[in-house]
A and B are shown apart, each in its own frame.
Chain A
Amino acid sequence: MTSTHTPETVIEAVGLGRDFVLSEGPLFRRRRRTVSAVRDIDLTVRSGEIVGYLGPNGAGKSSTMKMLTGILTPTTGHLRVLGVEPSRERTRLAARIGVVFGQRTTLWWDLPLRDSLELTRHMYRVPAADHARRLAELTELLELGPFLGTPVRQLSLGQRMRGDLTAALLHGPRLLVLDEPTIGLDVVSKSTIREFLLRANAEEGTTILLTTHDLGDVERLCHRVVVIDKGSMAYDGDLAGLRATVPVPRVLVVDLTAPAPALHVEGARCVRVEGPRQWLELADNPTAVIGRVAAEHEIADLTVQEPDIEGVVASLYRGAAAGEPSPSPSPSPS
């Protein structure tokens, strides 16, 4: 329920950091080395926001999620989630948030999905009527009906994930923390989950913080993105702003009538050739470049690709300010 006055703060982190001490080397000559998985993160998330928490592998996303949910104690900084210090009041906080770590399940492996969902009612002390109503709602939205009676170990990944989301939402948490909620899912399941999250956010004002490597998730869901790299914050703002921070050129895809060597045209740079199809990174306006190509070759078809967020984020990770060209436009994931 979004109200008219300033939404309250749900997550407040100031100078948040976490070090890990690693012992390595052979048994009797162990050396200790400290790595900073997260350093000096300032993050404020207000009620009703959907924030994407992005970064390459090992950036410190999961470590941050663990601190927010109280299962990892920060080394430095100040952290409040729903007004409490997570690592000190883990159990109390747990009753008020919903968490999904996509790689793991909270469901009982060898019992029917229904049993696990029933248990959450006792765990979170939800009144039976509320529980039944929410379960019916979620069952419909996430299409759980066909496998409610199936033991969890027999569910497919996508079915299990929907079960996990349901378990995380049955008690109506104010904050949902999702670590890779769409990992390994097919297009249909992804879209079911995305639409569902949008709805939870719009109708109940659920605040959502999610990490993902799926930039489709980000484009569909997030009003705001936070990018971290090597533990430090690299960007915090909206998607348009992120695109503007790292200008990634548009790409012209031309299909020639016959295969040809890489084109050399003014105002463009050929980045990829595949038979008669070529990808040209545009530095000039597209019409001019198309004219120049058409002057020398017969064109069967062409499209201009807008930079997608994937390219933007990839450039940001690599510190694209240094002027490195963006990756060749990725073929759409199939």
Chain B
Amino acid sequence: MRVYPAVYIRGLRRYSTYRAATIAGILTNSVFGCINAAVLIALFSVRPEINGYDMGDAVTQVFVCQALIATVAVMGPPLDLGERVRTGAVGVDLLRPVSLMGWWLAEDLGRATFSLVFRGTPTFLVGTVLFDLVLPKTLGHWALVLVSCALAAVIGFALRYLYELAGFWILDTRGIWAIVGMLGPVAAGMLLPLALYPPAVSGVLRALPWASTIQIPAEILLGKESLPGGSIAGGLALQAGWALGLLLLGAWITSVATRKVVVQGG
């Protein structure tokens, strides 16, 4: 099946045309990274350690987060699928002899790849130049970080795909985005590293899929003991579990939606 690679390339190419937006994105992410880092530096100069995190860990996570925000798209942009369901254009997508979810996954991973390479990486480099980040020491460790980012992108896709599928029943998914657009970033460890919350709260947040989009990749990069099983392997296993579980759920809901629900428009 060479159709999915072709769609993936298309996603990549499509986003590569938005050059000004990419540069503006790097700038925004870097500025927000610096502001968040400054706040956390102030906090950690009062209390050098909170729940196993020190200043270096926290500032590093800030830049992991800024580097991944656009890639995992926890705060958006929504998939075009939502709009296509609302207008009935999804009918055309369903007339293709390919899986609906496979198609959108391939296209979104194209987008995510572009964003990780051309927006996330430069943002993270800005962080390493301006701050003293905690970085992996071996190439192998870096490779695991990359795997973790890839899984985070898949989870980010699967979550948004599920939000948009809801459109088959409620037609307008902006309400869903209003809720998950608030909750997602908190649960992902984007607002603050989850380690900084009281253990009871962070325990709950860690159990949710959003944590696997930012918090877990950050801890994998930092090599934290707080990962499931206390190891990087445990963290990757958790991410893989979420990725698989959410995709299966997505595939199942797709088949229910397309069989029971009406494609809009004449």
Contacts and interface: CB of A to CB of B under 8 A. Distances in A.
A70 B14 CA distance: 30
Contact of B259 (A20, A87, A108, A111): A87
Interface in A80-137: 87, 90-92, 94-95, 99, 101, 103-106, 108, 110-111, 115, 118-119, 122-124
A122 B6 contact: yes
B10 A124 contact: no
A122 B10 contact: no
A314 B198 CA distance: 74
Contact of B96 (A87, A104, A106): A106
B260 interface: yes
A106 B88 CA distance: 12
Contacts of B174: none
Interface-centre pick from A91, A94, A99, A118 (highest chain B CB count, 10 A): A91
A103 B88 CA distance: 11
A91 B17 contact: no
Contacts of A92: 97
B200 interface: no
B46 interface: no
B143 interface: no
Contact of B97 (A87, A95, A104, A118): A95
Nearest to A106: B92
Contacts of B10: 108, 111, 115, 119
A72 B99 CA distance: 17
Interface in B75-92: 88-89, 91-92
Nearest to A111: B10
A90 B90 CA distance: 14
Contacts of B2: 122
A66 interface: yes
Given A73-B260, A95-B97, A103-B266, A119 B3 contact: yes
A23 B208 CA distance: 35
B259 A72 contact: no
A71 interface: yes
A191 interface: no
A266 to B, nearest CB: 47
Given A94-B95, A106-B95, A111 B263 contact: no
Interface string B234-266: 000000000000000000000000111011011
Interface string A47-90: 00000000000000010001001111100000000000001001
Interface string B1-44: 11100110010011001000000000000000000000000000
Contacts of A91: 97-99
B94 interface: yes
Contacts of A111: 10, 13-14
A71 B263 contact: yes
Interface in B56-104: 88-89, 91-92, 94-99
A112 to B, nearest CB: 10
Q: How large is the interface on B (under 10, 10 to 19, 20 to 34, 35 or more residues)?
A: 20 to 34
Contacts of A122: 1-3, 6
A72 B97 contact: no
Given A111-B10, A124-B97, A104 B260 contact: no
A104 B89 contact: yes
A66 B263 contact: yes
Nearest to A151: B17
Contacts of B1: 122
Contacts of B258: 71, 90
Interface in A127-150: none
B16 to A, nearest CB: 11
B114 to A, nearest CB: 14
A122 B103 CA distance: 13
A111 B98 CA distance: 20
B98 A123 contact: yes
B11 to A, nearest CB: 11
Nearest to B7: A119
Contacts of A94: 94-97
B97 A71 contact: no
Nearest to B98: A123
B94 A71 contact: yes
B95 A99 contact: yes
Interface-centre pick from A66, A92, A94 (highest chain B CB count, 10 A): A66
A94 B96 CA distance: 6
A182 to B, nearest CB: 16
Nearest to B89: A104
Given A91-B97, A94-B97, A118-B6, 15 more contacts: A66-B263, A87-B259, A90-B258, A94-B94, A94-B95, A101-B92, A110-B17, A111-B10, A111-B14, A115-B10, A119-B3, A119-B6, A122-B1, A122-B6, A123-B98
Interface of A: 20, 62, 66, 69-73, 87, 90-92, 94-95, 99, 101, 103-106, 108, 110-111, 115, 118-119, 122-124
CB-CB nearest 5 A-B residue pairs? A95-B97, A122-B3, A94-B97, A62-B266, A122-B2
